[in-house]
Structure 1
């Protein structure tokens, strides 16, 4: 009885120890899972904060793009310098500035005033003597100051007498729609004409040129007047004539390169009659100089195609290099 009692009492004790150890293991596992979840939440919130911070920085940067403070404390627009608007402003200014006429001093001073700062002299550097007239004033270049998009030098080209010049004008832009001439302009000589390099003449087809000459003369006669132009153009081609603004005088030169027997790219020099007033009502001829006021040579490139036994014009454009 005693032995049996001892045996029975030992079994529950062993089972209790086993259950305690198992419960301890389960408790440790649960504590580790909660720690991992908490760590994950911290990482997620950190990422969210980083994204929000980057968004705030981007918004602030966009707001500051509209105005940048320089070291001197002035505000500078971040927009690019408006070269087209500045060129238009300076072209208008140059028309007035380059018109030196001692008989119109007060008129010149009043017209220059909208372009100049308040402390500029009335004649802006001119003493009121001498004459100058400028024509054909056109934009030439715009040089924006490096690192400063509010100041630039606008250069124009103009002609006075038989010479071309440049006029450089410093301007200031307020970042909106206003400009002002910020310094004295400077007149410079314009570049001369470029040297035209010599090129070897291409091989020509004189036989086809002879064949084309009479047909092209009829085409240019119709091209000048607009009368029956379709008779000399390729099928499917529609060309607009000069409508009588000039009259045909002669086909002075024609250059036909060697090529395909049914299609060629050719060049021609045509002499037009320049009317003295209204469009001519009669066809002038070289033997009748009284019928025209002048003669004007023009160069053309033409695409001609052969249909049947005749050549027809498919296209006409302005010429390139000199022909003939």
Structure 2
């Protein structure tokens, strides 16, 4: 019988063969004495795993780069902490308060334009001349809507002139409408006491008789008086116009009560010491030469011509110290054939030189306001 073929020699597994081939190539590249593997005959079995010569290589992957990046980040954090302070990381500052929200309430009413229109209209409305009635109508048409009858409301009689017009408060009524108060000083003939004598007498006529007795002006004489006028206006098409006839109202006879001016303690010794300085200043004040006796650098305009000093009726200086002192001067002036009394707040300043030291006026203001 034929003998069975001999079994082939055992070979290394494929995975092991790849590693041994790689080791052989590595040894061939390394200089040195010949390796035992070079002398081994072809076909010899590879050395076992324990005899494979392995060599540690430097790591070339991204792990080493990641380590370097981590170290850089760490040192960056340390540097930032040194600059900004660790405390600011733990106790953060309070957030800033939000800015207040501005609410746009829309365009405001043109108060100044309304006052100007009402003042011009008041001058036209309270001025009349029976010899030239068209002049009044033409003046009123400037501030009234087109098509309005500017001749109504006046019987085309009499004569009156406006001397002064003073616009006052503007009361906004809504819908672009407002009411403007105007005070007007007018000049015209005095009232005739005999006017209306043919009318039936009543209680109102008796009251008018008492008022007539109080009038010093004779019939036909020219008198001046204040009149109040309230003018209705409206803003339309980019301008303010008068919407119709105004109404004459009264002018207050006196003002409201106000707080009293606080009193201050006076330095009577210093007041006596500087009285001559103040008298000299006021004597030059009206002559146009206040700078000749005022403190250096002071700018005090001269009073109008025609005024002469009467007397310094009172001069007191407030308690205090320093190189600047404030006092109150009550002065009488002769002007226009009359004597009038005025009150001033005066600042005196100490001026020193190598030869002497003196006090001079540096500021002067009218009234008692500090």
Q: Does 1:85 align with 2:81?
A: no
Instruction: Classify the secondary structure of the residue corresponding to 1:91.
Output: helix
1:155 counterpart residue number:
181
Q: Does 1:211 align with 2:273?
A: yes
Q: Which runs of 5+ in 2 are unaligned?
A: 1-105, 187-222
Structure 1: distance between partners of 2:135 and 2:304: 44
Q: Does 1:314 align with 2:358?
A: no
Taking structure 2 as the reference length, what is the TM-score of the superposition? 0.52
Structure 1: distance between partners of 2:365 and 2:319: 20
1:124 counterpart residue number:
152
The superposition leaves residues 232-276 of structure 1 with CA deviations (integer Å, 9 ceiling, x where unpaired) of: 3334434443375633332232232232275321111223343x7
1:185 counterpart residue number:
246
Q: Does 1:260 align with 2:321?
A: yes
TM-aligned CA distance change 1:258 to 1:79, over 3 Å? closer
**Alpha-carbon distance, 1:185 to partner:** 0.4
Given that residues 79 and 175 in structure 1 are in contact (C-alpha distance below 8 angstroms), is that contact kept between their aligned partners in structure 2? Answer: no
Structure 1: distance between partners of 2:129 and 2:235: 30
1:272 counterpart residue number:
333
Matches within 5 A, 1:40-79: 79=107
Given that residues 122 and 184 in structure 2 are in contact (C-alpha distance below 8 angstroms), is that contact kept between their aligned partners in structure 1? Answer: no
1:249 counterpart residue number:
310
Matches within 5 A, 1:220-299: 220-227=282-289, 229-230=291-292, 232-242=293-303, 244=305, 246-260=307-321, 262-274=323-335, 293-299=337-343
Structure 2: distance between partners of 1:182 and 1:200: 47
TM-aligned CA distance change 1:143 to 1:198, over 3 Å? closer
Structure 2: distance between partners of 1:264 and 1:244: 29
2:234 counterpart residue number:
172
Structure 2: distance between partners of 1:294 and 1:258: 34
Given that residues 98 and 132 in structure 1 are in contact (C-alpha distance below 8 angstroms), is that contact kept between their aligned partners in structure 2? Answer: yes
Give 1 or 2: higher helix fraction: 1
Structure 2: distance between partners of 1:84 and 1:268: 38
TM-aligned CA distance change 1:116 to 1:313, over 3 Å? same
Instruction: Classify the secondary structure of the residue corresponding to 2:142.
Output: helix
TM-aligned CA distance change 1:239 to 1:106, over 3 Å? closer
Structure 1: distance between partners of 2:304 and 2:160: 40
**Alpha-carbon distance, 1:219 to partner:** 1.2
Given that residues 302 and 317 in structure 1 are in contact (C-alpha distance below 8 angstroms), is that contact kept between their aligned partners in structure 2? Answer: yes
RMSD, aligned α-carbons: 3.1
**Alpha-carbon distance, 1:154 to partner:** 2.1
TM-aligned CA distance change 1:181 to 1:237, over 3 Å? closer
Instruction: Classify the secondary structure of the residue corresponding to 2:286.
Output: helix
Taking structure 1 as the reference length, what is the TM-score of the superposition? 0.58
Larger radius of gyration: 2
Structure 2: distance between partners of 1:199 and 1:89: 38
Q: Which runs of 5+ in 1 are unaligned?
A: 1-77, 277-292
TM-aligned CA distance change 1:197 to 1:86, over 3 Å? closer
Structure 1: distance between partners of 2:260 and 2:172: 38
